[in-house]
Chains A and B, each alone.
Chain A
């Protein structure tokens, strides 16, 4: 375990302590340890770890951490029933006994009209870390205050090299070469990354949308473009041009209410029957000429919720009577996030009340081909495809990420993952997964961002669950997903819910990278266990990408290597798809290859044996046998 410690004035006063588990007895065990009752602490919280090893913890850098802000409680205990004090004077005014602080006049706070004078410092979430992007040896961590760049040439000792301050949340990041794309959605966002001075409902200084930074000169990062959008940018997704390497597209997902036309021309809200130009019911598509990013501009606002038969823009509305009178919000009006899978020409949209599947072969004009609604899903939040795009996993961010939703009393399919199979282009519900309800009521927890771990022959994903830690699941059988590894910390502090935990957990180049909202950046190695052999881990660690943005899903192809073949064989042994004799025959062939004594006859015999043993009723094993057989034949 390598510790990276930096001087942090505010923390030094604390006597900052960083604790980590050394892989101990529970490594490799079939039975997970309990996650219940872990001790609170900022850098010394209790931990539970299973089949993983924490190899680095990089605390937030100076200027991006403030102890008081991190420790602001998000929630106070609910009002007890019977607290009410009824005023019998006949005014009808009642108040709760504990409502009025002793130092406050009973008719309300005296300072409410000039509240800013009593500024209580940076607000909660001001320094929250959010998403990650990877390029070369660099890891970029976005956040509500800007972004930070790390040199991860040694992944078990990432070094912080650069901070860029640009407040405005959420700081969802992507990277392409030297360009960093950065989402801004909060009302305080300024064009110049400054603070304050954006007053009223329209200000020329306000910025809501996607910024583009050039970090080619680490001594002088520059903002080169700021593309305004009607609803800002909660998240965004980088979409490569199908043929032109000099052009990239950005899908912009804004979830705020539309800005007025007075601030940004062409923006308006309302329902499409009254306002066909409404900024609701669409995403924004930005085209970025990569050699002149300053020319980036919105080129389309596709109506991806349209009913293509009737032309109804609000096409995902399930129907039913409109309420009488008044403005009505309708169905799915925005996407929270979109994961594109360019190699497959597909995208998975997590769009509030629906999960949708898009055809993106024409990226400027994505078209919906399937949609799903589900009574267990509160808020469709993000999507991850299986590598072969036969499945898509959606997360449900019930409670918005700030709520404690992984308690024993929380239903197991709420705030969970939903797994759908994609059958003939249509999504069909198969199953759910949620981590065990062992989190406390002072830990924000719900399903959140993750990515595939490239184990051949299996669908395995790592994801963050905020203060529920991070979790790795196998969803090869989409009806029966199960957990194979996790790491969890106790809450940030005692007695009150504070916002922390893993925004995401992503696999990249042999490690799990996990941005912690309050505690910085963590790195993990995956360990072999009863659920995962050393060969399967090694095969996953072979996969390397120079650049990776998780919501731009990359297709994984495994090299013809003995360890990959062994990984498939381990799976066939685990499932019992091959008998001992068959396993031994194939294993000998692979071992000969591994020893540099490639024997064409025995490889061919092994491939034949696999073909003969294939049972189409067991699709996962049939796929493994086909892949392994083909590899052996190529190797002959």
Chain B
């Protein structure tokens, strides 16, 4: 067991500190060639203030739905394929996207924003007429009609494609899954690209890192899935 050494800082003056040494300086450099200015700690903290744009919020709300479909696709794998590599790949994608959904929900809730996709006209191709899980699974709650050929947003599978995937088995399933997930990942990359093309988006550091991660991770996964597709 560890013994712990605990020192309590009491109040603002840190009575425990023997000397009130001057704090080391905090500099904010200028543009290249310019001089630096000094900042107070409070000014330094303020330099990290970044807001988010309406498009950022919409992006996260849509991406939750988009990721939800990847998780739903992953749930189909166990009963439909015997290809161990595809099972591995699918499990990893589903786990990753599920934890990213939790992250996106937290990001929205921390900002007092809805985690639900709402109707808007700025997210190309979106059809916000369904709840996220219903959308993700491609279920058609509204009627007994044949599933629609129109995806909720570009880069998602349409309800009809999801139904086709659910009905497929073996190599047919493998092929549909890989093709669908490649398309799905590409859709996510395109959503990021579209967001960054807009004014003032993606300033929040966590969002910025997430956007880069989507591009990097999903490109890597696309590459692996293409290899698997070629080996079928």
Chain B residue with Cβ nearest A321: B229
Q: Say yes or no: A195 contacts B227, CB within 8 Å.
A: no
Chain B residues whose C-beta falls within 8 Å of the C-beta of A62 in the assembled complex: 23, 26, 41, 44
Q: Say yes or no: B92 contacts A96, CB within 8 Å.
A: no
Q: Say yes or no: A75 contacts B198, CB within 8 Å.
A: no
A12 within 8 A of B: yes
Name the distance in Å between A87's Cβ and chain B's nearest Cβ: 8
Q: Say yes or no: A187 contacts B223, CB within 8 Å.
A: no
- Residue from A20, A69, A170, A321 within 8 A of B5 (CB atoms): A20
Q: Residue-by-residue, is A112-154 near B (CB-CB < 8 Å gives 1, otherwise 0)?
A: 1111101111111111000000000000000011000000000
Name the distance in Å between A374's Cβ and chain B's nearest Cβ: 9
B124 within 8 A of A: no
Known contacts A62-B23, A226-B31; is A11 also within 8 Å of B9 by CB?
A: yes
A423 within 8 A of B: no
Name the distance in Å between A126's Cβ and chain B's nearest Cβ: 4
Distance of A78 Cα from B216 Cα, bound (Å):
24
Contact stretch, chosen from A43-51, A503-511, A628-636: A43-51
- Residue from A124, A194, A321, A333 within 8 A of B28 (CB atoms): A194
Number of interface residues of B (CB under 8 A): 124
B47 within 8 A of A: yes
Distance of A69 Cα from B26 Cα, bound (Å):
20
Q: Say yes or no: B12 contacts A12, CB within 8 Å.
A: yes
Q: Say yes or no: A167 contacts B48, CB within 8 Å.
A: yes
B146 within 8 A of A: no
- Residue from A16, A22, A122, A403 within 8 A of B3 (CB atoms): A22
Distance of A121 Cα from B41 Cα, bound (Å):
15
- Residue from B54, B114, B196, B204 within 8 A of A99 (CB atoms): B114
B98 within 8 A of A: yes
- Residue from A5, A145, A321 within 8 A of B47 (CB atoms): A145
Chain B residues whose C-beta falls within 8 Å of the C-beta of A272 in the assembled complex: none
Kindly state the interface size class of chain A when it binds its partner. Answer: 35 or more
Chain A residue with Cβ nearest B226: A320
Q: Say yes or no: A119 contacts B196, CB within 8 Å.
A: no
A294 within 8 A of B: yes
Distance of A380 Cα from B223 Cα, bound (Å):
13
Q: Say yes or no: B40 contacts A63, CB within 8 Å.
A: yes
Chain A residues whose C-beta falls within 8 Å of the C-beta of B42 in the assembled complex: 63
Q: Say yes or no: B106 contacts A74, CB within 8 Å.
A: yes
Chain A 267-314 interface residues, beta-carbon cutoff 8 Å to B: 269, 294
Name the distance in Å between B181's Cβ and chain A's nearest Cβ: 10
Q: Say yes or no: A93 contacts B111, CB within 8 Å.
A: no
Q: Say yes or no: B193 contacts A195, CB within 8 Å.
A: no
A595 within 8 A of B: no
A378 within 8 A of B: yes
Chain B residues whose C-beta falls within 8 Å of the C-beta of A196 in the assembled complex: 49-50
- Residue from B7, B24, B49, B51 within 8 A of A115 (CB atoms): B51
Chain B residues whose C-beta falls within 8 Å of the C-beta of A220 in the assembled complex: 27, 35-36
Distance of A94 Cα from B117 Cα, bound (Å):
10
Chain B residues whose C-beta falls within 8 Å of the C-beta of A99 in the assembled complex: 114-116
A64 within 8 A of B: yes
A524 within 8 A of B: no
Chain B residues whose C-beta falls within 8 Å of the C-beta of A115 in the assembled complex: 51-54, 56-57, 111, 113
Name the distance in Å between A122's Cβ and chain B's nearest Cβ: 4
Chain B residues whose C-beta falls within 8 Å of the C-beta of A403 in the assembled complex: 96, 99-100
- Residue from B29, B40, B44 within 8 A of A223 (CB atoms): B29
Distance of A182 Cα from B19 Cα, bound (Å):
34
Chain A residue with Cβ nearest B85: A375
Known contacts A119-B49, A403-B96; is A185 also within 8 Å of B212 by CB?
A: yes
Distance of A450 Cα from B52 Cα, bound (Å):
34
Name the distance in Å between B198's Cβ and chain A's nearest Cβ: 7
Q: Say yes or no: A122 contacts B50, CB within 8 Å.
A: yes
Chain B 175-227 interface residues, beta-carbon cutoff 8 Å to A: 179, 182-183, 185-186, 189-190, 192-193, 196-209, 211-213, 215-224, 226-227
Name the distance in Å between A499's Cβ and chain B's nearest Cβ: 9
Distance of A145 Cα from B48 Cα, bound (Å):
7
Chain B residues whose C-beta falls within 8 Å of the C-beta of A243 in the assembled complex: none
Q: Residue-by-residue, is A76-107 near B (CB-CB < 8 Å gives 1, otherwise 0)?
A: 11110000111000111111100111011001
Known contacts A73-B106, A378-B92, A414-B92; is A163 also within 8 Å of B44 by CB?
A: yes
B123 within 8 A of A: no
Q: Say yes or no: A399 contacts B2, CB within 8 Å.
A: no
Q: Say yes or no: B131 contacts A223, CB within 8 Å.
A: no
Q: Say yes or no: A165 contacts B222, CB within 8 Å.
A: no
Contact stretch, chosen from A323-331, A340-348, A585-593, A614-622: A323-331
Q: Say yes or no: A109 contacts B112, CB within 8 Å.
A: yes
A224 within 8 A of B: yes
Chain A 161-191 interface residues, beta-carbon cutoff 8 Å to B: 161-167, 169-170, 185-188, 191
Distance of A112 Cα from B53 Cα, bound (Å):
8
Name the distance in Å between B47's Cβ and chain A's nearest Cβ: 5
Q: Residue-by-residue, is B152-163 near A (CB-CB < 8 Å gives 1, otherwise 0)?
A: 000000000000
Name the distance in Å between B94's Cβ and chain A's nearest Cβ: 12
Q: Say yes or no: B16 contacts A195, CB within 8 Å.
A: no
Instruction: Name 18 A/B residue pairs within 8 A (Cβ), A-sorted.
Output: A17-B9, A19-B2, A75-B102, A94-B130, A112-B58, A115-B54, A115-B113, A119-B51, A169-B209, A187-B202, A194-B47, A196-B49, A198-B203, A220-B36, A222-B36, A257-B196, A331-B222, A375-B88
With contacts A187-B196, A321-B229 known, what are 10 further pairs, Cβ within 8 A?
A9-B41, A86-B141, A96-B116, A109-B57, A126-B205, A164-B29, A169-B205, A257-B192, A373-B227, A403-B99
Closest A-B pairs by Cβ, 3 of them: A94-B131, A63-B44, A318-B227
Binding site for B on A (CB under 8 A): 1, 3, 5-9, 11-12, 14-22, 24-25, 44, 46-49, 61-64, 66, 69, 72-79, 84-86, 90-96, 99-101, 103-104, 107-109, 111-116, 118-127, 144-145, 160-167, 169-170, 185-188, 191-196, 198-201, 211, 213, 219-226, 234, 255-257, 260, 269, 294, 316-321, 323, 326-334, 336, 352-354, 373, 375-376, 378-380, 398-400, 402-404, 414, 496
